[in-house]
Amino acid sequence: MAAGPEPLLATDGLRKEFGGLTATDDVSLTVSPGERRCLIGPNGAGKSTLLSLLTGQLDPTAGSIRFAGEEIDGLAPHERVDRGLSVKFQVPSVYGAFSTRENLRLALQRRRSGDGLEEAIDESLARFDLVEEAEMDASALSHGQKQRLEIAIASALDPSLLLLDEPVAGLSVEETDRIVELLIDLNESRGIALLVIEHDMAFVRALAERVTVLHQGAILTEGEMESVANDPTVREVYLGEEV
């Protein structure tokens, strides 16, 4: 029987310790090309630590990370971005004194120039509903607009995998639905795989093809959302809350 396609992202026994605390415990996770995966778990489960290991903000205590067939453990964050692994963190970090257009230009100019650069900026502004805010200082954008701008910037780097940390935290239902639409469009039209940390279960149900549950730093279970939501152990972890 022929082997399946190589995972885009694969961690093997990934572990991170802070003194006597194990924040990430033997995590072996794979994400396939073009997959939409959500990572869920209660507070303190190790989700943000795992994201920091994947992006190179933290070095693992043990284990390895492979991306696009290459071990990336020793690569700096910007080197991982250059290889196609982009990230949008929980708190927007756009340049407030620069306009929306200028923020996009700063991200895109590493890969495009001339007319191609301006066309790419205009395309991103249109795709993310930011045309009317193009010349507005980013500091004046609403929280939802800043979230869309950050996703626009991260996706403008032509990633094969986009990591997102709670992209709909603090957003209204309408804004959340729009983020879901934008992410599915990025996934389906450009083939960008998604690995998303999120607490909003309605968002997870709408976006994820597969869900990974972290608990106390380790993978508790994985699967389609319905099977995960009906898992008694998952329900116990969430203290009886509906998943």
Domain ranges of the chain: 9-94+141-237
**Architecture of domain 9-94+141-237 in CATH?**
3-Layer(aba) Sandwich (3.40)
Total-model pTM:
0.91
pLDDT at residue 94 in the model: 86
Query: Is residue 27 within 8 Å of 15, Cβ to Cβ?
Result: yes
Report DSSP letters for 122-139, one per residue: HHHHHHTT-STTTTSBGG
pLDDT at residue 212 in the model: 97
Give the residue ranges of the chain where pLDDT is below 70: 1-4, 90-92, 239-243
pLDDT in tens, 93-145: 788 999 999 999 988 887 777 778 999 999 999 999 999 999 999 999 999 99
pLDDT at residue 194 in the model: 98
Cβ neighbors of 102 (< 8 A, separation 6 or more) are 95
Q: What angle do CA 148, 192, 116 make, to 5 degrees?
A: 70
Using alpha carbons, list the distances in angstroms from residue 144 to 27, 128, 234: 32, 11, 30
**Helix 173-190 to helix 143-156 angle, to the nearest 10 degrees?**
10
pLDDT at residue 240 in the model: 60
